Structure 1
């Protein structure tokens, strides 16, 4: 190979080596963006994004932040708002405008401690206005409560009402609330299951409960669960999570139940529950005794159960009285089964119970009556 060619190749190699060594120093000089970069046009939003934005803009003004101040903060099985406990007894949650009269729907467990302790409730509207509110009524058996707003500068429109009767697993859901005090947070998901059963107080269960994987966290309690049309399909109430934060399993009270209970709370301040006037044993105690049915601990004086001759546990000897094992020919394994049978029968309706006493079964005809929820 001629010497001239060798010299050219060596020179080229040296140039490449020099560029390689100098590259870290040359690149910042040549390519640094030391001025604002030009904005790249993104084009139109996706149709799904546009629909979600429109849904939030339409619904969010009707969602409010609820603050319930109590002197002493108690415990509740459905209490999801533990972060509020460190704020001087203030429990926080979410609510939404129900009607043009300024009624707000939220969860019972958001406001009940303030109600019991003679506390106060206030509501922060979506525009930041803080308004005092009074408690109209609570339905602990459904974890629903209704508030009445005071004077509001601008009343938002009530949310559109949907139905929970035709919901399908896989439908898109939207939850708006105030998780951890962060106002008007939107989360999305799908309906994970329908017709779940959720225990509340007084041994009752809400049937038809909606399960969703839309993120629901402490502070979302009482907020709306919406479908893709922006209609209310449920009221967010509980989560299943070892950590207390969203684990993708949230529950909402179905709107068909809400639409039945809320008007009654507005009219009379409470829900007239069909009952028979008994105090039942705890399920855990019944299970430990190996009893399948509802053990009557005490019969309320003057109640339908007393008039029908039912007996509770003997307070002197501890001997069992009546155990209810069926209602209207349906098996009764626990109190929720009995309350479901009473609700199916309705208020002031006849109910046929099968009860066992001293090992002998008999039929008892009884008529349901209005039983106050907060009996002692």
Structure 2
């Protein structure tokens, strides 16, 4: 009996041993082949073989149009840098320090470049970089702070200069597509797109005069875009980007451009004379005291001798022993209401030098109409 029991126990252990041995062999084989497979994968990955490129579809029609317009207009756009000379006391030398950057565009093949007046206001030198990355020193031909426009001139060969196509702004419509090309934060020839958000806006210039008929757009305009072109869907200039409304100083969804009809009037004047000839009444005006008291109009504080206002008998404010005697209060010009000093400038600019306008004034002894010949600002 004991011998039979011993023999049965041996027979049961052999299958268990075989099973365990088989599992061990399978584990070893799995490890070996798994290691080889993993090694081959890692080896393939280490070769950094490129992914297969998926086929591309055709550009959308509007994409093709935008690409074409950018290629057409971008060679006309330039980067403007102003440089200031600063004395280095420690090194006993004069250092040329960049003052600021902006954008401009080529006006003609004679080398005239248009930009904002505030872009070139500061700095001893001005440099213009063309789309081919060549840089040229520029001289200031003229500027008009009232509309924030200026003209520079570079002596580049005509074959390097591609004048921008000029459109009109009087027939623009809200909702039209627009493109802006500029150098925001020094990133040259940056394209942004948007629409005309509104028309006939008014913004203040450097002299606090209102720039009229301004275009509002949602195309992104950032610091460095100033002076750059705003284009329509035909690639024509319709405005010059000038200001943004933002609490942070960067793009906030509202930008303004000087209308091209104003540009096309001002730029030839700047090229020919260095300044813009404007019709003047010939007075100095103030409305701060009136605003404080809720009174509309423009108070005459001084009359320029020999001016149209002087010839028409307009009266200025004056000081006497008893105090200040207020001058004439302008309330209308050619029947159009004058509520502030800006209204006077706005109305008069619709006329030409030599025109005679009817100026309505209020005096102590009542209201009177004066016939005032407009004289030149030059």
Name which of 114, 118, 126 aligns with 1:109: 118
CA positional deviation for 1:178: 0.7
CA positional deviation for 1:38: 1.1
Q: In structure 1, what is the equivalent of residue 344 of structure 2?
A: 338
Structure 2: distance between partners of 1:37 and 1:229 = 40
Structure 1: distance between partners of 2:102 and 2:74 = 15
1:51 aligned onto 2:51: no
Structure 1: distance between partners of 2:205 and 2:240 = 14
Q: Return closer, same or farther for 1:70/1:238 CA change in 2, 3 Å cut-off.
A: same
Name which of 195, 204, 219 aligns with 1:199: 204
Structure 1: distance between partners of 2:169 and 2:41 = 58
1:311 aligned onto 2:320: no
Alignment root-mean-square deviation, CA: 2.4
Structure 1: distance between partners of 2:67 and 2:308 = 54
Secondary structure, aligned partner of 2:325: coil
Structure 2: distance between partners of 1:371 and 1:201 = 18
**Segment drifting more, 299-308 vs 218-227:** 299-308
Q: In structure 2, what is the equivalent of residue 160 of structure 1?
A: 165
Structure 1: distance between partners of 2:345 and 2:219 = 30
Deviation digits for residues 128-174 of structure 1, max 9, x if unmatched?
Answer: 11101111111212111111112348523111111112111111110
Structure 1: distance between partners of 2:157 and 2:248 = 38
Q: Any conservation in 2 of the 1:102–1:155 contact (CA below 8 Å)?
A: no
CA positional deviation for 1:245: 0.9
Name which of 209, 220, 228 aligns with 2:214: 209
Name which of 145, 148, 159 aligns with 2:150: 145
**Structure 1 stretches lacking a partner, 5+ long:** 1-24, 73-86
Structure 2: distance between partners of 1:286 and 1:348 = 30
Structure 1: distance between partners of 2:315 and 2:198 = 40
Structure 1: distance between partners of 2:253 and 2:247 = 12
Structure 1: distance between partners of 2:76 and 2:53 = 35
Structure 2: distance between partners of 1:95 and 1:61 = 11
TM-score by length of 1: 0.81
Structure 2: distance between partners of 1:312 and 1:42 = 74
Deviation digits for residues 15-67 of structure 1, max 9, x if unmatched?
Answer: xxxxxxxxxx99x9699883321111122111211111111111111100112
TM-score by length of 2: 0.81
Q: In structure 2, what is the equivalent of residue 296 of structure 1?
A: 300
Q: Any conservation in 2 of the 1:203–1:335 contact (CA below 8 Å)?
A: no
Secondary structure, aligned partner of 1:142: coil
Q: Return closer, same or farther for 1:326/1:205 CA change in 2, 3 Å cut-off.
A: same
Q: Any conservation in 2 of the 1:276–1:371 contact (CA below 8 Å)?
A: no
Secondary structure, aligned partner of 1:301: coil
1:233 aligned onto 2:233: no
Q: Any conservation in 2 of the 1:305–1:366 contact (CA below 8 Å)?
A: yes
Q: In structure 2, what is the equivalent of residue 12 of structure 1?
A: none
Name which of 166, 170, 177 aligns with 2:175: 170
Please list, as runs of the form range in 1=range in 2, the aligned pairs for 1:47-86 lying within 5 A after superposition: 47-70=61-84
Name which of 93, 100, 115 aligns with 1:91: 100
1:40 aligned onto 2:54: yes
Structure showing greater Rg: 2
CA positional deviation for 1:359: 6.2
Deviation digits for residues 177-196 of structure 1, max 9, x if unmatched?
Answer: 01111111111000001121
CA positional deviation for 1:68: 2.3
Deviation digits for residues 73-111 of structure 1, max 9, x if unmatched?
Answer: xxxxxxxxxxxxxx9461321100011111100011111
Q: Any conservation in 2 of the 1:67–1:90 contact (CA below 8 Å)?
A: yes
**Structure 2 stretches lacking a partner, 5+ long:** 1-33, 87-95
Structure 2: distance between partners of 1:69 and 1:319 = 49
Secondary structure, aligned partner of 1:141: coil
